[in-house]
A and B are shown apart, each in its own frame.
Chain A
Amino acid sequence: MNSPFRIIGKSFPRLDARGKVSGKAIYGTDFAMQGMLHGKLVHSPIASGEIISVDTSRAMAMPGVYEVVTAKDIPAQRYGSFVKDMEVFASGRVNFIGQPVAAVVARTAEEAEAAAKAVKVEYREQAAVFTTEDAVKADAPLVHPDWQEYKAVPTVKRQGNITNQARLVLGDVDKALKESYRVFTHRFVTNVVHPGYTEPRAAIAHWADGSQLHVWSNTQLPFEAQATLAEIFKITPSQVRVNVTVIGGGFGGKLRLGVEHYAAAAALKAGRPVKFVSSCEEEMTSALPRQPLTIDLTTGVTKDGKILAKAASILVDTGATSGSGVGVASSVMLMLAGPYKIPNLRLESRSVYTNKTPTGSFRAPAGPQGNFAVESQMDIIADALGIDPLEFRLRNIVREGDLAPNGQKLESVSLEECLLKAADAIGWKDRRPEPGRGKGIACAWWTTTSGSSGVYVKVGPDGQVFLNTGCAEIGTAALTGAAQVLAEALGIELGSIQIVSGDTASTPFDFGAQGSRTAFAVGNACIDAVGKLHQRMKEIAAKQFSAKAEEIEIDGGAAKFGDKLLPLKEIAAIAQTSQGGLIAHGTFIAPPTLHDKERTENMVITAINSPSFHAHAVDLSVDAETGEVKIHDYVVVQDVGRAINPTYIEGQIEGGVVQGIGQALSEEIVYENGIVRNAGLTDYKMPTAMDAPNIRSFIVESPSKVGPYGAKGVGEPPVIHPPATIANAIASAVSARVQTLPITAEKIVRTLTEVSETAK
């Protein structure tokens, strides 16, 4: 089939590739300034307690030390996404091991680190709580005794350690469960996993004249960093300029402030630029890992495999601050209902404080947790009913025009196609090809996050086009994708485009590189800009040809009047000498996704925008003696709406799957009484090239009405399904159903032993 596109759908190399392969790209860790000092943090060694005193005198006397910064040096100000429960340095009390209490500024990072050990902090230790089950008890110690004084968004319903209690309800669950042929109840527990970006969080801050803060960092969200820093230091956003360096991976772990606020506080006191880079230990103990969830899931079905009702009680462990966990507690319910038609729902979710590392928004924030529960249980039920798991899904999935669990009307629904293609590719008919070998399947839907985007598209007199965006490039090549949209719409070659990104002072606002939205939203803003550029081109050409603007046509990258052509670069040259250049401000905001408000209570995330649909399937073997899992084949079928750049879509799929395999099989931040027991990469096991299987990607294009050329979000979905897909295949291979993540070899062997002992 001939493509109607010149640029869309072609696998061009990313525009920033050469700088990255030659070592010339300047990342956050590389960035340096004249006169720059280095900062290191002092961390709390206890999980809960009051700070009695901070003695900085010994540290101040250490070689190379300029300043020690504490909460006393900055405004008393709490901040946070839904509940303002965070502070830069602990002031009155600490509530997790690793919480920053002070920072030391010194000539070198080494000297700062040595002096940080010499800061003497005296604590009065208090009772702590480490599990959500304990934290919701009436007599549980409060992680934040002053929680009632914190500001919060009005949607949330708080009580003690609970930061929100939200519900998704439909129909009459009790009645439906009573009428069900069978009712299944299971508990699923997920793991704390680190985003695992290879570049630690880094920032350099400089106060230009004592009131203008300039920050360079590897943040995913320069405009949010700007707003949060302004809030913390009680200045206006325009007094803060954030420039994004090249970013060594984010995966959501660099959405919120990383070390920018420490650098800013330190630079304010030292009167010089200060750089902070997280150590590996800090990354593992005090970054923003994925929330672990405990999900009690009950499903009632008819004899012929129709789901009648789902009820769930969900506890989201957000750690010591609520962060985005409040959002996860909402969106996990949209995941748990699944892409299934269910007439009766009663899902109840609570986000809860514990005295552990604050958590954050790791790629597809509620996806893997919710999917692991719902898709594991789908297989358990199918087996119990004697129905093939694929067939059981096909009897219940949503189709075009159906209402989703939240009541939103679904369009461009490709789930059946995804499931059937995945099953076909993995050879589903032969589900258990030999003893110890089995296949698994899982499916999901996911959002293309909304939020506004602005771009300036500027054409130079040489025909070179600058795409100026407030969105950062976190590595996905999504900005190359947006540039492909621009090149296609403007009628130019991709090589004519240069990207300028992530400067709050000079680039237009963008909601940022998050939620699978970059190519979608920035791409749409580019299309809007092209419409405006075309109008300007017509006006300039009309003048040139003594014609009317409406008589001018746009042909490729040129204006055309009869047989006369005026190329873009000539128009830009004319514009440069006559009217300050050729530039357009393109904007985009996704239309709101309507849902049934009767169904949602206190949910801070209520809808799935421009949903994408996808299915994964795996073929693996399990060694029953050792519990070792060997993946033979892994298949992903993902609906991307329109494939803007197939190679980088495959890149998102392959990378996401391997990250998901890490969550499924090997990764976990292990806590013991609030202490991280594996705070380094020797003991925190991310998949290596030897662990990663070959992945076969199949791209489905079921266009979205909203996306540029029909594109939907791509980046997050691939990480959602691996835990459930692999759990299902393991159960299929050796009858070991593991309901907690990660599914380690030990757990498989233990489950097999239990199964065989029950059989005796």
Chain B
Amino acid sequence: MTEVQLDLTVNGRRHRLSVPAHYSLLDVLRDELELTGTKTNCLEAECGVCTVVLDGKSVASCAVLAAQCQGREVTTVEGLAEGAALHPLQEAFVEFGAVQCGYCIPGMIMTAKAFLDENPRPTREAVREAIAGTLCRCTGYQKIVDAIMAASQRLSQQGERA
């Protein structure tokens, strides 16, 4: 099997790996690095549970070849909290009842992270559009939108204070 040499940074930690050439970024994260916070389901970039942030943009990691990530920076849900302190998005998801089974939540949160970084004060409609690529079967999305809106306010206020 052809292997590719890979040098990528995940959650601030640099990894040098040799992986099969057809591996997706999701394969690298879950199987090589054993970071199972990023979830797996449809493997056709329809459900969005595998969403991570790649150089600041949210991507479905099942549809990104590992080889395309050479020299790039990946953030997964495991890289969001600082120590024991949850990220404001994670806190808001807990607080607003946005989590049920939770399987889509890492993908939702990473989608929201990249989106809020670019759009700090979005409308509800814009949030709905931003997360439309990630399916949630439990919540009906309403409380997820509530949580993202609340997090955007808190993050903006933090930004203003900083």
Contacts and interface: CB of A to CB of B under 8 A. Distances in A.
Contacts of B97: 11, 13-14, 477, 647-648, 650-651
B128 A199 contact: no
A13 B100 CA distance: 11
A196 B132 CA distance: 16
B44 A682 contact: yes
Interface string B23-44: 0000000100001111111111
A219 B139 CA distance: 20
Interface stretch (A243-251, A381-389, A725-733): A243-251
Given A22-B37, A23-B76, A198-B136, A692 B99 contact: no
19 contacts: A21-B106, A27-B39, A30-B36, A198-B47, A198-B136, A198-B137, A199-B101, A248-B101, A248-B102, A476-B138, A647-B96, A651-B97, A651-B100, A654-B141, A655-B136, A655-B139, A681-B42, A682-B46, A689-B127
A25 interface: yes
Contacts of B8: none
B141 A280 contact: no
Nearest to A200: B41
A199 B103 contact: yes
Contacts of A658: 140-141
Contacts of B90: 21-22
Interface string A612-653: 000000000000000000000000000000000001101101
Given A11-B97, A21-B86, A689-B145, A680 B46 contact: yes
Interface string A561-587: 000000000000000000000000000
A200 B86 CA distance: 28
A695 B47 CA distance: 23
B86 A18 contact: yes
B143 A198 contact: no
A279 B140 CA distance: 24
B112 to A, nearest CB: 11
Given A22-B37, A251-B137, A651-B143, A681 B100 contact: no
A677 B137 CA distance: 22
Contact of B137 (A17, A197, A650): A197
B145 A475 contact: no
A21 B47 contact: no
Interface string B104-119: 1110010000000000
Contacts of A11: 97
Interface string B138-162: 1111111100000000000000000
Nearest to A195: B137
Contacts of A52: none
A138 interface: no
Interface string A693-718: 01100000000000000000000000
Interface in A229-271: 246-251
Contacts of B134: 689
B38 A23 contact: yes
A30 B44 CA distance: 19
B136 to A, nearest CB: 7
Contact of A695 (B76, B94, B142): B142
A20 B99 contact: yes
A690 interface: yes
A12 to B, nearest CB: 10
B6 interface: no
Given A198-B49, A280-B44, A682-B46, A659 B137 contact: yes
Contact of A13 (B42, B94, B102, B137): B94
Contacts of A83: none
Interface string B55-99: 000000000000000000000111011000010001001111101
A246 B137 contact: no
Contacts of B109: 21
A246 B138 CA distance: 15
Contacts of B135: 196, 198, 681, 686, 688
Nearest to A17: B94
A543 interface: no
Given A18-B86, A21-B77, A23-B37, 19 more contacts: A17-B99, A21-B86, A22-B78, A26-B36, A197-B103, A198-B47, A198-B136, A249-B100, A249-B138, A647-B143, A648-B97, A650-B142, A655-B139, A656-B140, A658-B141, A689-B129, A689-B132, A689-B145, A695-B140
A658 B135 CA distance: 11
Contacts of B46: 680-682
Looking at B100, B135, B145, the one whose CB has the most chain A CB atoms below 10 A away is B100
A310 B14 CA distance: 70
A453 interface: no
A308 to B, nearest CB: 39
A29 interface: yes
A657 interface: yes
Contacts of A680: 42, 44, 46
B131 interface: yes
Contacts of B131: 689
B128 to A, nearest CB: 4
B137 A654 contact: no
Nearest to A109: B31
Interface residues of B, number: 53
Contacts of B47: 198, 681
A636 to B, nearest CB: 11
Contacts of A655: 100, 136-140
A277 B46 CA distance: 18
A549 B83 CA distance: 48
Contacts of A22: 37, 77-78, 80-81, 86, 90
A205 B70 CA distance: 37
A474 interface: yes
A651 B102 contact: no
Contacts of A29: 36, 39-40
A654 B140 contact: yes
A692 B134 CA distance: 13
Nearest to B144: A689
Contacts of A653: 140
Looking at B78, B80, B128, the one whose CB has the most chain A CB atoms below 10 A away is B128
A27 B30 CA distance: 13
Contacts of A692: 128, 140-142
A251 B41 CA distance: 17
Contacts of A137: none
B21 to A, nearest CB: 13
A24 interface: yes
A651 B102 CA distance: 13
Nearest to A14: B99
B108 to A, nearest CB: 9
Contacts of B36: 23, 26-27, 29-30
Contacts of B76: 23
B73 to A, nearest CB: 18
A283 to B, nearest CB: 9
Contacts of A247: 101
Contacts of A656: 140
A476 B133 CA distance: 23
A251 B133 CA distance: 22
A528 B40 CA distance: 41
A213 B142 CA distance: 42
A650 B139 CA distance: 9
Contacts of A26: 36
A647 B97 CA distance: 6
Interface in A5-59: 11, 13-14, 16-18, 20-27, 29-30
Nearest to A247: B101
Nearest to A25: B102
